[in-house]
Chains A and B, each alone.
Chain A
Amino acid sequence: SLAEKKTYIVHVAKSEMPESFNHHTLWYESSLNSVSDSAQLIYTYDNAIHGFATRLTPEEASSLESQTGILAVLPEMKYELH
């Protein structure tokens, strides 16, 4: 399971953050904990995107994508110097 983990960038609709959370990072952690026992936040973003980066299995990514407020779970992309 660990071996098949990949990095994903998770885009969220910040306006849909449940009122029970007083900071978006807490919401992100809670969302992650609901789909994975071990996943951790690599980055949280608030200016370039609304969301975070994390390592998930494909199943966890799929499960996360179905949650309310989660817009997209996109796999990490590799860019190259030109």
Chain B
Amino acid sequence: TTRTPQFLGLDKSADLFPESSSSSDVIVGVLDTGIWPESKSFDDTGMGPIPATWKGECETGTNFTTANCNRKLIGARFFSKGYEAMLGPIDESKESKSPRDDDGHGTHTATTASGSVVPGASLFGFAPGTARGMATRSRVAAYKVCWLGGCFSSDILAAIEQAIIDNVNVLSLSLGGGMSDYYRDSVAIGSFAAMEKGILISCSAGNAGPSSYSLSNVAPWITTVGAGTLDRDFPAEVIIGNGKNYSGVSLYRGHALPDTPLPFIYAGNASNSSSGNLCMMGTLTPEKVAGKIVLCDRGVSARVQKGVVVKSAGGLGMVLANTPANGEELVADAHLLPATAVGEKEGDAIKKYLFSDPNPTVKIVFQGTKVGIQPSPVVAAFSSRGPNSITPQILKPDLIAPGVNILAGWSKNVGPTGLASDNRRVDFNIISGTSMSCPHVSGLAALIKSAHPDWSPAAVRSALMTTAYTAYKNGLSLKDSATGKQSTPFDHGAGHVDPISAVNPGLVYDLTVDDYLSFLCALNYSAVQITTLARRKFQCEPSKKYNVNDLNYPSFAVLFQTTGGANIVKHTRVLTNVGPASVYNSSVTSDSSLVKISVEPQVLSFRENEKKSYTVTFTSTSGATTQSVNSFARLEWLDGKNVVGSPISISW
């Protein structure tokens, strides 16, 4: 990536992450669409021998041999038996039966997490700079589990199985599916086994936002990552015939439009189809579109596909307008014709002009790359949101990281739009999704792991979460792109990742396998369900009182029953001091008077490596309410140097 290292402060962190052998001993496994090994991001110059712990290998298949691997890309495997059992033999004329990435997604995620430093990177001159992954000295192992027809659970499980055997340290999964209970979800089950082996599993939260309860990958042993914007944009202004300007974004680079205003038409008025406004394939009337710029509404079909539809109907360019589903969030695309994307409000204003002017005209002015955009980060509208639909007492997502307009490596088997008709080939592509934010956290986790090799996955996650920030430098709270208002822990979890602070978090909330087993007991899982999930006979003790609220999680999700429930809820936590001896004071801030929050003890004095517990008591002062209400608060432990923060959601 060419901007996130600066955005995250990694460019000033050389002394925090020395180029020691421990940083190059960390191996990031990426389950995805495979890998494009020729990417410069996998240059192994200066990398030492492959870690002795590594048991993986590079498998041979279509256009891929062991020679495609090196000291950077140390593993590449593919898992297609489940896919082929379901859909028949792979057509090798259409996709590579090998670790080779024909899609681009897997190369993008792997290079985001671990890519080497590549000067002079850009997409058609957009987002220029030196590209690098988050953990430049870590090693990459690619596990191809996603194919043209999708990613199947039997293949995903086989890849996790192999990654455990191979000895990866971090697993990055930018995929998800459904909202099954943990004992029915292969990613959750496989991740449990990986966690047991000390592997940190980072998963994307999903792109089903901004709807509530839209998260995937919510098991507490998984780090669930939502997406935020960077301080970078790709403006492409729309100037309509009445002289008014509207801001849009675009990654179009190609033949320029004439400098004079061009005829402008709404797609809905250039079609005989009731859904003509969406610029679906075959719906535009060429006689009405030819020689004009066409305004299409976003939705149903791919954004770049709409551009192809306009182009094939003879249109000169496209303005793509958001609908209420997307609000004002702008996602830039490398369109095949001059095109720009505008927000819902801008789109409505432009449509008003289109419907009122008998001879509407428009100009699109492409302005390249701009950095320093504020406020940033803003929670991406598409980023999936809490509450957690499986266990509402566990607050998810865990945190957010950059996931909008991210430049990273790409496959040379596909163009930047992913369309079959896109014959362009690029070294780097700019795309958006929680798929992109997840590998940021995977790479950052690898960095933390290299600085603290003995830390558990839970300790690494805790460090990332408790040091995440929830306010801009001017003190204002993080915003949500979907609403334009302040975001909440259901949107951003603990906040935006801050890797420099995460290296020295002061205190961590650690978790062991036994803690997770107690959590399963607290969920009243049957013996069969626990054995299915945890691969062992585990008997919940009938005399022991298990409580989901006591899972030593770095965040709090408090549930009050709307009727008949107690109006006091207690959560107990254990903090481990990973810094020097120190005294920490607690501080609680809350946006609601409906609940009283008290911490006992209020002060914790730690020796080195000492553990101390505390209890937070939440007292609902409103009595039982028949309505579902959410409020939010924050608990911090401060010693004058470190701030160990935890988000709190409170629901009635």
Contacts and interface: CB of A to CB of B under 8 A. Distances in A.
B207 interface: yes
Contact of A81 (B151, B194, B528): B151
A72 B81 CA distance: 21
A76 to B, nearest CB: 5
A81 B33 contact: yes
Chain A interface SS verdict (over half): strand
Interface string B157-197: 11011001100000000111110100111110110011000
Contacts of B157: 9, 43, 45, 48-49, 53
Nearest to B33: A81
Contacts of A42: 81-82, 85, 154
Contacts, number: 120
B156 interface: yes
Contacts of A45: 157-158, 161
Contact of A49 (B81, B178, B193, B206): B193
Given A48-B164, A78-B177, A81-B174, A7 B82 contact: yes
A71 B146 CA distance: 27
Interface in A35-82: 42-43, 45-50, 53, 55, 71-72, 74, 76-82
B602 interface: no
A82 B178 CA distance: 12
Which range holds the interface residue count of chain A? 20 to 34
Contacts of A53: 81-82, 85, 154, 157-158
A81 B101 CA distance: 14
Contact of B165 (A14, A47, A78, A81): A47
Nearest to A40: B85
A78 B152 contact: yes
A1 interface: no
A46 B157 CA distance: 10
Contact of B176 (A47, A48, A79): A79
Given A13-B537, A77-B180, A82 B161 contact: no
B475 interface: no
Contact of B32 (A55, A72, A76, A81): A81
Interface stretch (B130-138, B430-438, B486-494): B430-438
A79 B151 CA distance: 5
A16 to B, nearest CB: 9
B154 A82 contact: no
A9 B85 contact: no
Interface of B: 32-33, 81-82, 85-86, 105, 146, 150-154, 156-158, 160-161, 164-165, 174-178, 180, 183-187, 189-190, 193-194, 204-207, 433-435, 438, 528, 531-532, 535, 537
Given A53-B81, A76-B86, 11 more contacts: A9-B154, A13-B531, A47-B165, A48-B189, A49-B161, A49-B535, A71-B531, A76-B82, A76-B154, A78-B152, A81-B33
Interface of A: 7, 9, 11, 13-15, 42-43, 45-50, 53, 55, 71-72, 74, 76-82
5 contacts: A13-B537, A42-B85, A48-B190, A53-B82, A53-B158
